[in-house]
Structure 1
Amino acid sequence: MRISQQGCILQSGDVRGYSKDAELLLGGIFAIHMDVEYPEVKYQDLPETIRCRRFHIRYYRFHLAMIFAIKEINKSPHILPNVSIGFIIYDSCYNEVRSLLGLMWLLSGRQETVPNYNCYKQAMPEAIAGDTPSKSSMPIARILGLYRYPQVRHWKTSTLLSDKTQFPSFLRTISNGNFEVTALARLVAYFNWTWVGVIISDNDLGREGSQLFIKEIEKYGGCVAFLEILPVHNSQEEVFRILEVVNKSTATAIVVYTTMENLIPLMEEASSRNLTDKIWLGSARWSIESDFPRKDILKTFNGSLGVAHRRGQIPGLKEFLQSIHPSTSPEDVFIKMFWETAFGCKWLDDKTRGNASKNGIPLCTGDERVDSIDNSVYDVYNFRYTYKVSNAVYALAHALNDMYLCVPGQGPFKNGSCANIHNYQPWQLLHYVKKVHFKNTAGEEIFFDENGDVPLSVDILNWQLYPNGSSRYVQVGTYDSRSPKGKDLIVDEGRIQWNGRHSQAPASVCSARCPTGHRAATRKGHPICCFDCIPCSEGEILSPTEINQCIKCPDDQWPNSIRDQCIAKVIEYLSYEEFLGGCLAAISILFSILTACIFGLFLKNCNTPIVKANNRELSYLLLVSLMLCFLCSLLFIGHPLKITCMLRQVIFGIIFSICLSSILAKTITVVMAFSATKPNSKVRMLVEFKLPVYIVLACSLVQVVLCISWIADSSPFPEFNMAAEIGKIVLECNEGSTIFFSCVLGYMGFLACVSLLVAFLARNLPDSFNEAKFITFSMLVFASVWVTFIPAYLSTRGKYMVAVEVFAILSSSSGLLICIFFPKCYIILLKPEMNTRKYITGKNKKTLK
């Protein structure tokens, strides 16, 4: 091994750095250049140093942010009073080798890179801020972790760095890299994108991110349409194949979880194919980048969404960034590079004199104004990662301040001891860094969790392309993991500009959402997001939590017209207020009045032959019974109560039995009257014995016994019938015992049949004394009504069942009234000459002859 003349120094290559001495030093490693050029190794002479390329103005702000933060800390009377802080900042050029070289420089002393040895103790920084890429941070963190040397990073990092067993001294002022996947999944769920494509890098970052993303969107009911892996090394064939998959897929939303280096070849080809009908969703690793080599990529990204870590406020930084000048910071080795890149000029020296004039590049004069630089190139308003750099520096300063203010006996170490601010071990400062908790200059609380991370807080950005070709990303929402569930994601859709083919948020689904009242039935062999729609069964609605399940409404509820919720069923019964109930009640009252009028007419003409014929008292009883029959139908109309349910069938059965018994008695009276006129007839004794009266009493008594038994054993009661009609609750009377109900109706049918038979046999007796023909016809009407009543009653439900019974009562009663009494009323009112004893006697004589 070749060793320089100073025994403690290993020979190093070229080091690009900027430092300022003070009592305490903070180290910084930032990727100010974006790329490196590897020299050719010949092993014939000393190898050249890896050369840096592509100066990055945005990353240069990290360097300036650290310098500004240290200046502000040194001015503050509250942080390390009377103690000055300096810095040592190194450019890693986005390369692992340069990062490790810079680390050795920081730890060993300037350009002398000796592992685990420091020749210049005053050059040893207290802690390290950086590096930018994860590929560099990991090896740095492993080395610093050996000595528990604090490292605070500001940039997007791998989740692996949260493992404190491997990286015990690593912390970061930015959330765990996988946390932003949670924000992306929430954003996808917000727009109901259940069919999403995923493109990842072929590295730990992509694989870890995709696994977590898939898990998250499945939790929200989403599916992955495809998962494509971009190779780390550019492969044109793979890019073509992946874009073919993207183009053919029905998924509109595409999540791209890759590094910037992997993304550019893919998007260049997508732009060439004019693939602008997709919505790209980017992670924070590329969503705020705008330095794409081809500007037509921006057209492809137009309308896409991304997440970026929350923008922060750093008071005074804007003015500081605009005040920098090579003349005021001659020690800053990067400021002239910034000047040349920002203004497109060259500083005059021996190397550039000839090239600048030859290539037509203007010379830098120093009169250029920093505040004239376009904001898209040198942004002095939006601080995201720059803000994280400032927080990292302040976190280290506050940790040093806590150490500085430690009171002996109350310290955190053994026996309450404190660490000397000028002489301490790295692990002692690490203790304070982990415990730090403060408010920064913007008023935000800064602290680390047990993994050395800070809570996730990101902005939702929208890429917007303007007609003049310029583009910018616009904040359209936020996601804050510290907020309550449901309020963590806020999106202002009015600010979102979708690409030219979409005027509003496009759909990205495998199957369109089922219409209301339909459930999703998964297609066999397909993901759950691909389904067919099947209508829910009667009485069911779609579950509010499961799209593939219908739930039955409670018994007292029913789906509304669109089947999205259960509503209370309508309680239905035959009421007076509705047309049907009102008409039946009116007919009932009308016929009862008509019957009362006929009864009055008969009382007025009680001594006339037509009234006295066939037993005047039975006619009166029949008219009163018919009048009550009409009125008892009112018990069937209106709100069913316990008393009305118990009485209506009983009263109806008893009164109708009296009617039928009276008709039977009248028919038998006709037969007996003609039989009594025959010589030596024994029937006269039965007439004098008043047999018809006993017939009425006996026949009616049977029905009374049946009804009393019915009430005593199982009386009718009101109930809510949930199943009678769809979507309705029928308030009806439960008859209690079907057997007794059938017996009551059957007994009336028996009386009607007997009356019909007797009347039919007596139909040919002389007309003047004979009602048999009218009774026969009335009983035929009665029988027809009640025979048709049975199937009609059994085939109807709800209030119409009651209406059928009321109609049967009114029809049969009116049939009896009309057939038996209207002919008599006709004679009494219109043919009074026929209602005389002389007319009846004369006619009878003719008949007997």
Structure 2
Amino acid sequence: MHIVECKTRFPYPPLHKYHQPGDLVIGVIASQSLTISDVATFHKEPQPTTFEELTIVTKNYQHILALAFAVKEINENPQILPNTSLGFHIYENYFSAKWAYYDAIQFTSTPESFVPNYKCDTHNNLLAVIMGLNFQTYQQVAILLDLYKIPQLIYGSSPVMNDKTPGLPFYQMVPNEGLQYVGIRSLLLHFRWTWIGVLTRDNEKGEWFVQTVLPFFSQSDICFAFIEKVPKTNVVSDVGDLMQRGTKIHDKIFGSQANVVLLYGETYSITTLLWLPYVSELLNVTKKVQGKVWIVTAQMEFLSFTFQRTFNKDMFHGTVAFSFHSSDPPGFHEYVKSVNPSSMTTDGFIRDFWQQSFACVFPSTWGDKVEWKPCMGTETLESLPRSIFERGMTGHSYSIYNAVHAVAHAFHAMSRLTRRAMADSGELKLQNELWWQLHPFLRSVSFNNSAGDNVSFDHNEQLIAGLDINNWVISPNQSFHRVKIGAMDSQVPPGEALTINEDAMTWHSWFEQIQPLSLCNDHCHPGSSKKVKEGEPFCCYDCIKCPEGKISDQEDMNDCFKCTEDYYSNQGHDFCIPRNISFLSYEEPLGISLAFSALSLSVITGLVLGTFMKHHNTPIIKANNRNLTYTLLISLLLCFLSALLFIGQPQKWTCLLRQTAFGIIFSAALSCVLAKTITVVLAFVATKPGSRMRKWVGKRMANAIVLSCSLIQAGICTVWLATSPPFSDTDYHSVVEEIILQCNEGSITMFYSVLSYMGFLSIVSFIIAFLARRLPDSFNEAKLITFSMLVFCSVWLSFVPTYLSTKGKHMVAVEIFSILASSAGLLGCLFFPKCYIIVLRPELNKREQLVRRNH
């Protein structure tokens, strides 16, 4: 049997750079704490010859301090892990999947040896692994640690986490990534920013974001002016090519009218964008840097390389940044103040951090190769700009802090049920085979940390927490301030999750503190609607005025809509006005005038009838069948009164009587005129010697004509009432501003049949009277009848086109006027000459005078 000695060392030095021993150990694999540039060899520490060659993101050193502070809090609290100390190992993977995999293997082997799946050291038992990984390294580590069911706690987010395979043993110390996308969408809709640019990294996560998240924004009518991907960089990248691509991105961003740019990338993406202002200077780019509203996702932090501390950062002034919710635990600031190279002897990162942050050098590290000011070790972290080091906990640091406490509380809960004391030492140890037993306790863990925030996981092993929304404020001296302006609450419906304090927001000076717009074109104001431009995104559109009868009462409406039937659109087509109820009433001037005219003519007709009845024995009245004259006058009187049925609000009974009564009464009047005309002709013919027409002359003939002609019209009206009678109706369409109360004729055919029959009677009367106008009869009324029928026909021939061209109450007024005018024409032409003789020239009302006049 081959036995591997525990003291055998791996030929290469281990990659862990910070080791704090303890009974229980948390492993940490970090890729965001140290060197960003690629490292050619990992067999020895990099030895740069110039200060600028070592490019360290010093701000992420706070992640280490958050971890150390959490462990310190737990070890000093006897209520969490009594009689047990907690330690940690930090391993740097240099953004390499190979070295991340190597780090993970070391968790299952003896320290300082590399024998996978073999451990002969019973100290420093691994409890869990905290990882801040990118997509590639996550896959490698997760597969290995899943074999051992070692709990993994992620303090970053990756698309794969949203679709992780059930059962994978990791816990996400940040809320579901979808929460921030809902928040970004809500923020864009809140400020009505529908035309935005998008900037992502040219990697798998960037492609995932473009393919998965952007369509989610498009569903809310958000369009993209451009989608640019920042290229990957490494030490062998073609500088010229990178500059050209940087110029292209620069022109896209600052040449676009989109004032909002959504930035999605890794933590250090800001360091790349800090070069943009210098691209225009190096390549004489015409598009100068102008103000933009940057919306930054929670994966990113405002940080810079140490050599970028003097870079102009005004470009990011006013940025709206989503971040994982964070709070400062009590005592953390004091802990940070106490940090210095002499007090952190086991910290393999602090010397590099110190040298880069304070631009100094430890002589023991660099020897005599460089001539820089020496590091005294008494420098204070508070003097560093926030882009280099953050004194308060950031979202990522707070996630690490909560991860350590979650593991400690879960183990505390488990240890109460599964305590196993080891012989001799009496210390509590976690045996390797109990790794998997920690998972149920991690899933159900729930506690309040020292900052007062609750820490617990949902059914997907994701932290139940919200997001903070911060405003980045860059002062003229390039100092950085983070101002909280809102939050996303994960415990409420998505539509209510976003809270934003607009008064606390600071915009870029380019916008002069006015809320910027980000639209493809100006808003369509109320009264118009959008018309999509052909070949353009749906956010680019023309504005067209609403058509007649439609309105739009909000900006950017896709279509105009009709007002309800009781309303109509105003002239600006932006709101609805109540429609007036319209009918010809007795309270308006037109109705009063027509009613007064009808009553006046009725009175005049009555006076004529009374005059004729008073002088009924005079020759001029007896000359042409006085009974027929009385019938005609009574018919005309009723015609004038029938006009009153057309005035007032239409009712069921008035609608039934209007046209039928008018038609029958008028037909009776015309029948009388026709009878008078025929009587004149027959009287002349009958006076000839030997005429056989003598027997037709008399009252019986006239009565037969009046009765038969009136009955025909009555029959037509009866059929009308039996088949499709008139009824009261409401017309919403004829006049835009009015609701017309009217009588619907029921059958238009029957209505025009009634009018046609009256026209037939009047034309027949006119023709006969016209032919008989020169008959040498002493009492010939043919001339008067001819003229009266000419007036009558003229009125009703002009009635038809006028009636059809008017709407509402004016249509009714036209019909009333026609009734009154035609009736007045008959009255005036037939009876006023006779009244003149009867009243003013009685001496002419004698048989001798009439005979003489006619001869």
Query: TM-score w.r.t. structure 1 length?
Result: 0.83
CA 1:15/1:778 → structure 2, altered by over 3 Å: closer, same or farther? same
- Quick check: 1:287–1:307 contact (8 Å CA) kept in 2? no
Map of 1:288 onto structure 2: 302
> Which residue in the other structure is 2:398 paired with?
387
Residue 172 of structure 1 corresponds to: 172
2:412 maps to a residue whose letter is N
1:436-493 deviation line (CA, Å, top 9, x unaligned): 3444444544333454333573333333344454443433333344421321233333
Match of 1:840 among 826, 843, 846: 846
In the alignment, the residues of structure 1 paired with residue 685 and residue 36 of structure 2 have an alpha-carbon distance, to the nearest angstrom, of 138
Answer whether contact 1:50 1:98 (CA < 8 A) is retained. no
Q: Which residue of 2 aligns with 1:747?
A: 757
| Distance change >3 Å, CA 290–CA 577, structure 1 → 2 | farther
Label 1:284 to 1:48 Cα distance change in 2 as closer, same or farther (>3 A).
same
Q: Is the Cα contact below 8 Å between 1:521 and 1:534 reproduced in 2?
A: yes
Change (3 A) 1:407 1:627: farther
Matching residue within 626, 629, 633 for 2:636: 626
Q: Which residue of structure 2 lines up, in the alignment, with residue 412 of structure 1?
A: none
Report whether the alignment pairs 1:121 with 2:117: no
1:447 corresponds in structure 2 to: 456
Aligned with 2:376 (options 338, 353, 363): 363
- Looking at structure 2, the residues matched to 746 and 597 of structure 1 have their Cα atoms a distance apart, in angstroms, of 31
Q: What is the CA–CA distance in structure 1 between the aligned matches of 2:26 and 2:383, rounded to whole Å? A: 32
1:250–1:370 Cα change, 3 Å: closer
User: What is the aligned partner in structure 1 of residue 196 from structure 2?
Assistant: 196
Q: Match for residue 414 of structure 2?
A: 403
Q: In structure 2, what is the Cα distance between the partners aligned to 1:421 and 1:21?
A: 15
Tell me if the contact between 1:657 and 1:699 (Cα under 8 Å) persists in the aligned partners: yes
Summarize the alignment of residues 97-496 of structure 1 with structure 2, pairs less than 5 Å apart: 108=109, 111-131=112-132, 136-155=137-156, 157-162=157-162, 164-165=164-165, 168-177=168-177, 180-233=180-233, 235-259=242-266, 264-273=271-280, 274-289=288-303, 293=308, 297-324=312-339, 332=347, 359-361=372-374, 363-364=376-377, 366=378, 378-381=389-392, 383-406=394-417, 424-454=433-463, 457-496=466-505
1:764-798 alpha-carbon deviations (Å, 9 max, x no partner):
46898444333322211100011111222334444
The answer on whether the counterparts of 1:539 and 1:552 sit within 8 Å (CA) in structure 2 is yes
Amino acid of the structure 2 residue aligned with 1:215: P
| 1:60-99 alignment runs, 5 A limit | 60-74=61-75, 79-80=80-81, 82-90=82-90, 92=92, 95-96=95-96
What's the offset of the Cα at 1:300? 2.2
Question: Does the aligned pair in 1 maintain the 2:271–2:305 contact within 8 Å?
Answer: no
Which deviations, in whole Å up to 9, do the C-alpha atoms of 1:652-702 show, x marking residues without a partner?
Answer: 011111211222334445556667777888777656545433332232222
Find the aligned partners of 1:346 and 1:48 in 2 and give their Cα distance. Answer: 20
Q: CA deviation at 1:556?
A: 7.8
User: Which whole-Å CA distance do the structure 2 matches of 1:6 and 1:736 have between them?
Assistant: 109
Distance 1:308 1:590, change over 3 A: farther
Compared with structure 1, are the counterparts of its residues 459 and 602 closer, same or farther at alpha carbon in structure 2 (3 Å cutoff)?
A: farther
Q: Deviations over 1:524-575 (max 9, x none)?
A: 5444444455666666667999966667778887666555688887665444
For 1:735, the equivalent position in structure 2 comes to 745
**What SS does the aligned partner of 1:363 have?**
coil
Preserved CA contact (<8 Å) 2:183 2:497? no
User: Cα deviation per residue 1:577-607 (whole Å; 9 max; x = unaligned)?
Assistant: 5554444334333333333344444455555
One-letter code aligned to 1:242? I
Q: Which 10-residue stretch deviates more, 626-635 or 302-311?
A: 302-311
Distance 2:571 2:455 in 1: 54
Q: C-alpha separation between the residues in 1 aligned to 2:679 and 2:457?
A: 112
Q: Which moved more, 1:144-153 or 1:724-733?
A: 724-733
536-545 vs 647-656, greater mean Cα deviation: 536-545
Cα distance per residue 1:328-378 (max 9 Å; x no partner): 66555556666666666667x76689899x6455734x4x66666666655
Structure 1 569/212 Cα, relative in aligned 2: closer, same or farther at 3 Å?
farther
2:422 is aligned to none
For 1:713 and 1:154, how far apart are their aligned partners in 2? 85
- In the alignment, the residues of structure 1 paired with residue 76 and residue 39 of structure 2 have an alpha-carbon distance, to the nearest angstrom, of 44
Is the CA contact (8 Å cut-off) linking 2:261 and 2:295 kept in structure 1?
yes
CA distance in 2, matches of 1:451, 1:545: 41
Alignment partner of 2:723 out of 695, 707, 713: 713
Which has the larger displacement, 776-785 or 716-725? 716-725
Q: CA deviation at 1:230?
A: 2.4
Structure 2 counterpart SS, 1:68: helix
Q: Check 1:33–1:66 CA distance in 2 against 1; reply closer, same or farther (3 A cut).
A: closer
Unmatched tracts of structure 1, length 5 or more: 409-418
CA contact (8 A) 1:108 1:114 kept: yes
* Counterpart in the other structure of 2:45: 49
**SS of residue paired to 1:805:** helix
Secondary structure, aligned partner of 1:453: coil
Letter in structure 2 aligned against 1:280 = W
Partner-residue secondary structure (3-state), 1:122:
coil
Q: Judging changes above 3 Å, is the alpha-carbon distance between structure 1 residues 691 and 547 closer, same or farther for their aligned structure 2 residues?
A: same
Write the letter of the residue equivalent to 2:473: Q
Shift of residue 502, structure 1, vs aligned partner:
2.9
Q: Is the 8 A contact 1:12 1:113 kept in 2?
A: no
Report the AA paired with residue 173 of structure 1.
M
Q: Distance in 2 between matches of 1:595 and 1:296?
A: 105
Q: Distance in 2 between matches of 1:209 and 1:749?
A: 82
Residues 355 and 375 in structure 2, CA contact (< 8 A), matched pair in contact too: no
Conservation of the 8 A alpha-carbon contact between 2:57 and 2:388: no
CA offset digits 1:389-440 (Å, max 9, x no partner): 22211211221122123389xxxxxxxxxx9966752112133223434444
Following TM superposition, by how much is the alpha carbon of 1:814 offset from its aligned partner in structure 2, in angstroms? 2.0
Size of the alignment, in residue pairs? 823
Deviations 1:619-644 (A, max 9, x none): 33333322221221222233333322
- Preserved CA contact (<8 Å) 2:196 2:258: yes
Contact 2:523/2:556 (8 A) holds in 1: no
- 1:283-312 CA-to-partner distances (Å, cap 9, x unmatched) read 233353366816555222233433222233
* Distance in 2 separating the partners of 1:648 and 1:36: 96
Say if 2:254 and 2:290, in contact at 8 Å, map to a contact too. Answer: no
Alpha-carbon distance in 2 for matches of 1:194, 1:790: 58
- State the secondary structure of the residue aligned to 2:417: coil
Q: SS at the partner of 1:34?
A: coil
Q: Give the Cα separation in 2 of the matches to 1:577 and 1:120.
A: 109
Deviation at 1:127, TM superposition (A): 1.1
Letter of the 1:49 partner, please give it.
E
C-alpha change, 1:47 and 1:392, in structure 2 (3 Å) is: closer
When structure 1 is superposed on structure 2, of 628-637 and 464-473 the one drifting more is: 464-473
Identify the residue that residue 773 of structure 1 maps to in structure 2.
783
Cα distance, 1:39–1:744 mapped onto 2, change above 3 Å: closer
Provide structure 2 residue ranges, at least 5 long, that are not aligned to the other structure: 49-53, 281-287, 420-427
Q: Secondary structure at the match of 1:174?
A: coil
Single out whichever of 713-722 and 765-774 deviates more from structure 2. 765-774
